[in-house]
């Protein structure tokens, strides 16, 4: 587990980091290092330069901004899991972050590094897609934001450009009467999600007015399930099961632990259970 030779640069600011990215072709940004370093140790990644942005305070922290919660890209999973702001405004994101790895991983790993790596078994992406979060990027030419649903493009591929740094994520606060839940079917070896189901249900005046379900782990990117049949329904177990059974994946992921067919099946079961948990939390 000895990486190939590389140069290490520590950025003192986002601007400096952007400059270093321009300067060094094929450089990799490192935040918590929990995805990049294992890849480098296995020599699956051999970047000539690693730019350490892990100490940039400007990219850390959780704050409320209007109707949204802004989460800096260097905020750790542990901070997200324990955040009072998120507990009040978007608890499902904190719930998912609490499922990542173990305490050591959560203390080091960051939300920005996690979603920029875009592992299909990651717990965060389906939640960001579910709540309609936006991902904010900065380059020498300015800033832009992209909807989480468009951010994840393929296996380990995102919309982050070569000259861009992911600065923060903005998650809208859950509306009144909305319950949400994240349920994880954990891989016994890696601890990643074989299937991770994020669901939300809004109930107003005893009637379902909105519902969402996004399932991770089944495909290269989070799979959104059309559960609009629940709107106006009584949210009975049968109605929920019927809605969750709409999960479909053309080319599901399969490995020695769980085949594609099985993942789709578990995605439906966990989707159903996540919806039921969201229903029970709504009101």
Partner 1 sequence: MARVLGTSIKRREDPALITGRGKYTDDLKAEGMAHAAIVRSPYAHARIRGIDTSAAEALPGVLAVLTARDVAAAGIPGVVPVGWLLPDLVTPAHPMIAADTVRHVGDAVAVVVAEDRYLARDAADRVAVDYEPLDAVADVVAALEDGAPAVHEEAPGNVAFDWEIGERESVDAAFASAAHTVELDLRNNRLIPHAIEPRAVLASYDSSTGEMTIHMTSQNPHVHRLLMTLASLGMPEHKVRIVAPEVGGGFGSKIHHYADEAIVGLCSMKLDRPVKWTATRTETNLTDAHGRDHSTHCAMALDADGRITGLRVDTAAAMGAYLSTFAPAVPTYLYGTLLSGQYDIPAIHCHVTGVFTHTAPVDAYRGAGRPEATYVVERLMHLAGDATGLGPVEVRRRNFVSPDAFPYQTQVALAYDSGNYGPAMDRALEMIGYDDLKSEQASRRDNGGKQIGIGFSSYIEACGLAPSAVVGSLGAQAGQWESADVRVHPTASVTVYTGSSSHGQGHETTFSQIVADKLGIAPEAVEVIHGDTDLVQFGMGTYGSRSAAVGGSAIVKSVEKIIEKGKKIAAHLLEASAEDLEYEDGNFRVAGSPDRSLGLGDVALQAYLAHNYPDDLEPGLSATSFYDPANFTYPFGTHVCVVEVDTETGSIELLRYAAVDDVGNVINPMIVDGQLHGGLAQGIGQALWENAVYDESGQLVSGSLMDYAVPKIHNLIPFELDRTTTPCPHNPLGVKGVGEAGAIASPAAVVNAVVDALAPFGISHIDMPLTPEKVWRAVNS
Per CB under 8 A, residues contacting partner 1 are: 1-5, 42-43, 185, 187-190, 255-259, 262, 265-266, 269-270
Longest CA span, the chain: 62
Q: Strands of 28-30's sheet, edge to edge?
A: 7-10, 49-52, 28-30
Toward partner 1, which CB reaches closer, 44 or 65? Answer: 44
Nearer of residues 172 and 260 to partner 1, judged by Cβ = 260
Exposed/middle/buried for 132, CB within 10 Å: 0-12, 13-18, 19+? middle
Nearest to 72 by CA among 145, 136, 143: 136
CB nearer to partner 1: pick between 177 and 191: 191
Q: CB-wise, 3 or 246, nearer to partner 1?
A: 3
For 186-201, letters b (16+ CB in 10 Å) and e give ebeeeebbbbbbbbbb
- Comparison of 188 and 206: residue with beta carbon closer to partner 1: 188
Min dist CB 34 to partner 1, Å, is 13
**Strand order from edge to edge, sheet including 178-186:** 178-186, 193-204, 207-216, 223-225
Nearest distance from residue 189's CB to partner 1, in Å?
Answer: 4
3-state secondary structure of 233: coil
For the bound state, the minimum distance from the C-beta of residue 257 to partner 1, rounded and expressed in Å, comes to: 6
The least distance separating partner 1 from the CB of residue 248, rounded to whole angstroms, comes to 19
Instruction: Closer to partner 1 by CB, 133 or 194: give it.
Output: 194
Q: Facing residues of 51 across strands? A: 9, 29
- Report the nearest approach of partner 1 to the CB of residue 163 (Å): 30
Taking a C-beta distance cutoff of 8 angstroms, is the pair 36, 42 a contact?
Answer: no
Q: Taking the complex as a whole, how short is the minimal distance between the CB of residue 138 and partner 1, in angstroms? A: 32
């Amino acid at each position: 587990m000895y990486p190939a030779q590389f140069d290490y640069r520590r950025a003192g600011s986002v601007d400096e980091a952007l400059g270093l990215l321009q300067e060094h072709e094929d450089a990799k940004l490192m935040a918590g290092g929990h995805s990049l370093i294992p890849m480098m140790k296995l020599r699956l990644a051999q970047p000539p330069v690693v730019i350490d942005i892990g100490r940039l305070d400007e990219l850390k922290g959780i704050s409320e901004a209007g109707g949204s919660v802004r989460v800096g890209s260097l905020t750790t999973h542990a901070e997200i899991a324990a955040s009072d702001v998120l507990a009040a405004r978007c608890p499902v994101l904190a719930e998912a972050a609490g499922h990542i790895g173990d305490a050591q991983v959560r203390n080091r790993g960051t939300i920005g590094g996690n979603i920029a790596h875009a592992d299909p078994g990651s717990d965060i992406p389906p939640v960001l897609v579910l709540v309609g979060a936006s991902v904010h990027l900065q380059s020498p030419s300015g800033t832009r934001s992209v909807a989480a649903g468009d951010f994840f493009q393929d296996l380990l591929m995102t919309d982050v450009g070569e000259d861009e740094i992911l600065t923060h994520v903005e998650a809208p606060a859950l509306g009144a009467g909305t319950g949400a839940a994240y349920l994880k079917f954990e891989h016994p070896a890696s601890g990643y999600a074989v299937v991770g189901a994020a669901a939300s249900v809004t109930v107003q005046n005893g009637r379902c007015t909105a519902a969402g379900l996004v399932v991770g782990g089944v495909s290269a990117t989070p799979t959104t399930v059309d559960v609009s049949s629940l709107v106006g329904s009584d949210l009975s177990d049968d109605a929920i099961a019927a809605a969750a059974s709409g999960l479909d994946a053309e080319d599901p992921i399969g490995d020695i632990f769980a085949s594609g067919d099985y993942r789709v099946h578990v995605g439906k079961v966990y989707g159903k259970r996540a919806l039921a948990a969201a229903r029970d939390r709504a009101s």
